[in-house]
């Protein structure tokens, strides 16, 4: 039987697609890649382990060569620490690779990169329970999670109209985690907690 998986798709509208940003000033030099790095921590990092039942697609749309999609698989992930600097260094390694299409190039265990666009990521995840995270959506407390949910989350810029239309066209329901606009990583923490408390953590979520 296939293992259950929770998937997060995050779009970084200005996040750079080359490794030439400074680890000493990630927010100022990377097109706010730091927003995505915090999403990675929120999605995967537990107090004493990694969520092995989670994966994430970080779609980077900034210069010089968009898109780059970084795929992180909790099941295989190594070297992820809670601090943003280490995660930024892992992204540097991924962005040093030169993918030419939808073939994945692995940079470190559990991290791979290609040039998929949002539409292609959605196509790859077709058939799964798709959720667009938006204020004003259905209250997450009333939402019934399917077996392998996929959450699409905006960065500090939210979503473009085209992105919202594409995610809705792919069959997404719109879900809200509360009445206020929160940071993307905080939404992910709330969702992981919601799933832990409703469907429960999967037996292998903290496997070594
Ligand atoms: C910092 S917010 C985006 C704010 C942006 N200025 C806007 O107006 O859309 C980042 C993302 O977190 C998610 N988000 C924030 N607050 C939310 C809420 N209350 N419920 C569901 N998702 C939320 C959305 O996906 C949003 O695009």
Confirm or reject: Cβ of 154 under 6 Å from ligand 1: yes
- Give the pLDDT confidence of 151-182 residue by residue, as tens digits: 999 999 999 999 999 999 999 999 999 999 99
For ligand 1, atom 8: residue with the closest CA: 158
Question: What is the average pLDDT value for the chain, to the nearest integer?
Answer: 95
Percent of the chain with pLDDT over 90: 91
- CA–CA separation, 199 vs 145, rounded Å? 8
Show the tokens assigned to 14. Answer: 């200005």
pLDDT at 84: 95
Give the tens place of pLDDT for each residue, 64-120.
999 999 999 999 999 999 999 999 999 999 999 999 999 999 999 999 999 999 999
pTM of the full structure: 0.96
Contact 90, 79 (CB under 8 A): yes
Best of 184, 190, 193 for a ligand 1 pocket test (most atoms within 8 Å of beta carbon): 184
Neighbours of 6 (CB within 10 A): 25
CA–CA separation, 163 and 156 (whole Å): 15
The whole-number pLDDT of residue 146 equals 87
> CA–CA separation, 165 vs 204, rounded Å?
35
Split at pLDDT 50, 70, 90, the class of 121 is very high
Residue 36's CB is within 10 A of a number of other CB atoms, namely 26
Q: Are strands 49-50 and 130-139 parallel, antiparallel or unpaired?
A: unpaired
Q: Which of 35, 182, 183, 191 to mutate to test the pocket of ligand 1 (most atoms within 8 A of CB)?
A: 182
Distance, in Å, from the CA atom of 143 to the CA atom of 137, rounded to the nearest integer, reads 10
Q: Please report where in the chains the tokens 């750079």 appear, as a residue.
A: 16
pLDDT at 201 over 90: no
Ligand 1 within 6 A of CB of 186? no
Q: What is the CA radius of gyration of the chain?
A: 16
Q: What's the pLDDT at 208?
A: 64
pLDDT tens digits, 15-33:
999 999 999 999 999 999 9
86-to-23, 25, 131 alpha-carbon distances in Å: 9, 13, 29
d(CA 10, CA 206): 23
Is 41 close to ligand 1, i.e. is its CB under 6 Å away? no
Beta bridge partners of 55: 7, 73
pLDDT value of position 207? 63
Per-residue pLDDT, 120: 98
**Ligand 1: distance of its center to the CA of 2 in Å?**
31
């Amino acid at each position: 039987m296939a293992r259950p998986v929770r998937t997060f798709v995050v779009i970084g509208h200005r996040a750079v697609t080359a490794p030439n940003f400074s680890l000493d000033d990630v927010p100022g030099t990377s097109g706010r890649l730091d927003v995505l790095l915090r999403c990675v921590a929120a999605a995967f990092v537990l107090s004493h382990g990694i969520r092995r039942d989670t994966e994430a697609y970080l779609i980077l749309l900034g210069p010089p060569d968009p898109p780059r999609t970084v795929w992180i698989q909790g099941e295989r992930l190594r070297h992820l620490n809670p601090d943003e600097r280490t995660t930024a260094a892992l992204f540097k390694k991924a962005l040093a690779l030169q993918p030419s299409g939808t073939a994945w190039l692995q940079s470190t265990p559990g991290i791979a990169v290609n040039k998929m666009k949002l539409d292609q990521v959605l196509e790859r995840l077709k058939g799964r329970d798709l959720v667009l995270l938006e204020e004003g959506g259905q209250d997450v407390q009333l939402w019934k999670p399917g077996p392998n949910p996929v959450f699409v989350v905006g960065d500090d810029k939210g979503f473009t109209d085209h992105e919202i239309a594409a995610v809705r066209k792919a069959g997404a329901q719109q879900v809200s985690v509360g009445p206020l606009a929160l940071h993307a990583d905080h939404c992910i923490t709330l969702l992981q907690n919601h799933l832990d408390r409703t469907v429960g953590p999967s037996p292998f979520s903290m496997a070594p």
